[in-house]
Copies of this chain bind each other. A is one copy, B any other.
Amino acid sequence: MNMNDQIGAAQLMVELGERSYPIWIGSGLISRIGRAFQLQHIPTGSPILVITDDKVGPKYLHQVAEALEYVGYSVSTHQVPSGEKSKSLRVFEDCISAALEAGCDRKSTVVALGGGVVGDLAGFVAATYMRGVRFVQVPTTILAHDSSVGGKVAVNHPLAKNIIGAFHQPDMVLYDTSTLQSLPDRDVRSGLAEMIKHGLIWDQSFAAWCEEHAEQLLAKDEEALTYGLLQGCAIKAAVVSQDERENDLRAILNLGHTIGHALEAVAGYGELLHGEAIAIGMIGSARLAEQMGMAAGVAEYTERLMKSFGLPTAIPAHYDTEQIIAAMMHDKKFNEGRTMFVLPTAIGRVEIRRDVPVEQVRDIIEELKGAGTWQ
């Protein structure tokens, strides 16, 4: 971990050649966003468009705009309804209209102020407006530590999540941990699921650290959060640096997502939080791995970990198994007639497999509907 003394924040660099960028994490960073823009040489001559939602906007939009205007930026803002439903082409078009009305040009910057939904949506706006403009992420949820690293941006289609998107790296990520203090507990738990995932795919000792610090993390202790977010981002950055466009390695970040995305699609976007869905998915993957003789004991460990964070460990019994299977077939991870699973081989190690028989997936889904807790 490095410190950037110029803005007083922990700094992590995501190494992507000429597209490398810094992630800054610290308390009260939003008030120093103007200085951060200057450090990244973002030009003042073109309008900045801040996209946020109607939950985050009222809390922080004024502060962000003021801090940018103070150092000479011209700022326009656009607020969308909160929730996954805003990741639609309709809302995307509204954002493009807002960019045009603000007079945004090729040297403009789009700022995402909010959680993963706002980040994905605003990121897709930045990726496509005039074929791509600068992009800055200001995440205000724990979950967004995952989505704000790596440049994947997208909106949903009624039939499939994240199906319309791009790879578009931000110019910087500015993580103000004080914005996390007002997060509802359910969102905290959901966000921590992605943090734990980073331990499970890459670093056994970080997984153990998560388990040991569950209490502090759930209580939003700023020191624990800063360390956990930095580690989570660092693991994701290490993976993405090696495989920006997901040709192979990057796919390991999808642990729990094959089942998880299908559950989200069946539930209707928004009913099940993303972290909740992948918590169940990670348990499913571990069980599949055990049945295939790949990883003894990992399923039990994974389930214990999820329980210690108050995350669900079972599929709600009323979800239709065949609908879940069908949703998997519409996912980006399905191709050439097979779906992809990320399966653990040990704690902190995973393998990408395309040979999981659909019958076995069906059995695991049935099993997950029978047992465990679902709040």
A positions within 8 Å CB-CB of B: 43, 45-46, 89, 92-93, 96-97, 100, 103, 105-108, 127-132, 152, 154, 157, 159-160, 163-167, 245, 329-330, 332, 334-337
Task: Check A166 against B163 for contact (C-beta < 8 Å).
Answer: no
Which of B108, B131, B164, B337 sits near A152, CB closer than 8 Å? B131
**Contact yes or no, B45 A93, CB < 8 A:** no
Whole-angstrom distance between the Cβ of A178 and the nearest chain B Cβ: 33
* Contact between A127 and B166, CB atoms less than 8 A apart: yes
Is A106 a contact partner of B335 (Cβ separation < 8 A)?
yes
Shortest Cβ-Cβ A-B pairs, 10 listed: A105-B335, A45-B336, A131-B165, A130-B332, A128-B164, A106-B335, A100-B159, A107-B335, A89-B93, A96-B157
- The complex places the Cα of A103 from the Cα of B128 at a distance, in Å, of 25
The complex is assembled from copies of this chain, and their number is 2
With A100-B330, A105-B336, A128-B166 given, name 18 new contacts (CB 8 A). Answer: A45-B335, A45-B336, A46-B335, A96-B163, A100-B157, A100-B160, A105-B332, A106-B335, A127-B166, A128-B164, A130-B163, A130-B165, A131-B154, A131-B165, A131-B167, A131-B332, A132-B245, A166-B166
Q: Contacts of A46 on B, CB cut-off 8 Å?
A: 335-336
In contact, B97 and A157 (Cβ under 8 angstroms): yes
For residue A198, give the distance in angstroms from its CB to the closest CB of chain B.
Answer: 21
Q: A45-B336, A89-B89 are in contact. Are A163 and B132 (CB under 8 A)?
A: no
Closest approach, in angstroms, between the C-beta of A121 and any C-beta of chain B?
14
In the complex, the chain B residue whose C-beta lies closest to that of A45 is: B336
Please, which residues of chain B bring their CB within 8 A of the CB of A332?
A: 105-106, 130-131
With A107-B335, A335-B105 as given contacts, are A164 and B45 in contact (CB-CB < 8 Å)?
no
Which one of A45, A106, A107, A245 has the greatest number of beta carbons of chain B within 10 Å? A106
Residue of B nearest to A152 (CB): B131
In this complex, the member of A96, A157, A164, A329 whose beta carbon has the largest number of chain B beta carbons within 10 angstroms is A164
Contact B166 A132 (CB under 8 A): yes
